[in-house]
């Protein structure tokens, strides 16, 4: 990368008649990574003629960690996504953004709509700067939304201790690593294992999560800190006509208001509600996940 990042990626080659635009998958986090489950699920798209790229954003998975942790910024992630798109050589791409990946994808979209054919948001995180008064609409009873058995807060409370509190304090206030990347990433894997319990509809499926480590602690912490300080792009969102599919699991741990704001701001968006799935639709409802994506792409 021009930024100096070493980025790990997987390419799934299209089979049969190749579609004109490739798919780029943006994983959750920040500081997350793509998994073997993502690869297996998205192989269905490759089998249907779409070239698919998955990559670990800087600071997570098998991609490089940064020495100066204040360099983990939203703008850096956007710039590196732009370079990934350029390296595909495609005139346009299709973006699939999961959770934080949806935030990253839409922020890229507003300044590069000419390069995005369609965008799919799966269980998107909130639009930032966060505005809890932006959309106040009760989730329709007809959707039969269910609150997850666990919450993110439950997991964070269980994981935190005096040392990790000090790690976060030194990082966010002074830009310093109290612990090295290996130790910090090990804590991120432990913490995410507890937080991810809120990401399924059926708690029996918790065992399907966390089969692979790879989360980047400092990328997660510092990118999120930067995310809370970005310029509000809502007025630009309103003028973006790119076709958007928003998919939400019936037990998604993200608030309905956050999801509904995408539908309110993006004029060419629509919602697909997925029963029997939490935040990770591809884990609990992989066939519905891929069938709705393919239906949207093949219109």
Q: How far apart are CA 225 and CA 67, in angstroms?
A: 17
Distances (CA, A) of 86 to 80, 112, 219: 10, 12, 23
The closest of 225, 229, 264 to 244, measured between CA atoms, is 264
Pairing outcome for strands 9-12 and 52-55: antiparallel
Q: What global pTM score does this model have?
A: 0.95
CB 121 within 8 A of CB 102: yes
What pLDDT sits at residue 211?
73
CB 116 within 8 A of CB 95: yes
Q: How far apart are CA 276 and CA 273, in angstroms?
A: 10
CB 223 within 8 A of CB 77: yes
Beta carbons within 10 angstroms of residue 89's beta carbon: 7
CB 220 within 8 A of CB 159: no
The closest of 152, 160, 154 to 254, measured between CA atoms, is 152
DSSP-assigned letter for residue 279: S
What pLDDT sits at residue 142?
76
Count of alpha carbons within 13 angstroms of residue 160, beta-carbon side: 11
Question: Phi and psi of 210, rounded to 5°?
Answer: 60, 30
For the chain, the maximum distance between any two Cα atoms, rounded to a whole number of angstroms, is: 56
Q: Walk along the chain (299 residues) and give the pLDDT tens digit of each residue.
A: 888 899 999 999 999 999 999 999 999 999 999 999 999 999 999 999 999 999 999 999 999 999 999 999 999 999 999 999 999 999 999 999 999 999 999 999 999 999 999 999 999 999 999 877 666 677 777 777 888 888 888 888 888 999 999 999 999 999 999 999 999 999 999 999 999 899 999 888 888 887 777 999 999 999 999 999 999 999 999 999 999 999 999 999 998 888 999 999 999 999 999 999 999 999 999 999 999 999 999 98
What pLDDT sits at residue 133?
66
What pLDDT sits at residue 144?
78
DSSP string of 75-107, one letter each residue = HHHHHHHHHHHHHHT-SSEEEEEETHHHHHHHH
- The alpha carbon of 234 is separated from its chain's Cα centroid by a whole number of angstroms, namely 19
Q: What is the dihedral of CA 251, 254, 260, 265, to 10 degrees?
A: -150
Q: What domains are defined for the chain?
A: 9-147+216-297 (3.40.50.1820)
What pLDDT sits at residue 136?
66
Q: How far apart are CA 53 and CA 10, in angstroms?
A: 6
């Amino acid at each position: 990368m021009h930024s100096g990042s070493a980025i790990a990626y997987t390419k799934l080659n299209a089979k049969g008649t190749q579609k004109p635009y490739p798919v780029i998958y943006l994983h959750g986090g920040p500081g997350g990574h793509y998994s073997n489950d993502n690869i297996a699920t998205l192989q269905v798209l490759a089998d249907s003629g779409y070239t698919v790229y998955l990559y670990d954003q800087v600071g997570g998975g098998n991609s490089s960690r940064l020495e100066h942790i204040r360099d983990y910024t939203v703008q850096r992630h956007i710039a590196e996504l732009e370079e990934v798109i350029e390296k595909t050589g495609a005139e346009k791409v299709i973006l699939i953004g999961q959770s934080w990946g949806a935030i990253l994808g839409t922020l890229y979209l507003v300044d590069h709509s000419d390069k995005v054919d369609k965008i799919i948001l799966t269980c998107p995180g909130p639009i930032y700067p966060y505005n809890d008064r932006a959309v106040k609409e009760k989730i329709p009873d007809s959707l039969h939304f269910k609150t997850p058995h666990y919450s993110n807060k439950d997991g964070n409370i269980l994981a935190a201790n005096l040392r990790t509190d000090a790690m976060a304090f030194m990082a966010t206030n002074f830009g310093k690593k109290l612990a090295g990347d290996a130790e910090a990433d090990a804590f991120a894997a432990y913490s995410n294992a507890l937080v991810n319990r809120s990401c399924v509809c059926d708690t029996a499926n918790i065992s399907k999560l966390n089969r692979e480590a790879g989360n980047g602690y400092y990328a997660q912490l510092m990118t999120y800190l930067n995310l809370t300080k970005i310029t509000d792009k809502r007025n630009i969102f309103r003028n973006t006509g790119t076709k958007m599919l928003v998919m939400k699991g019936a037990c998604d741990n993200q608030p309905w208001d956050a999801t509904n704001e995408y539908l309110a701001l993006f004029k060419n968006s629509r919602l697909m509600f997925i029963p029997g799935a939490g935040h990770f639709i591809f884990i609990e409802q992989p066939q519905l996940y891929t069938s709705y994506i393919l239906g949207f792409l093949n219109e």
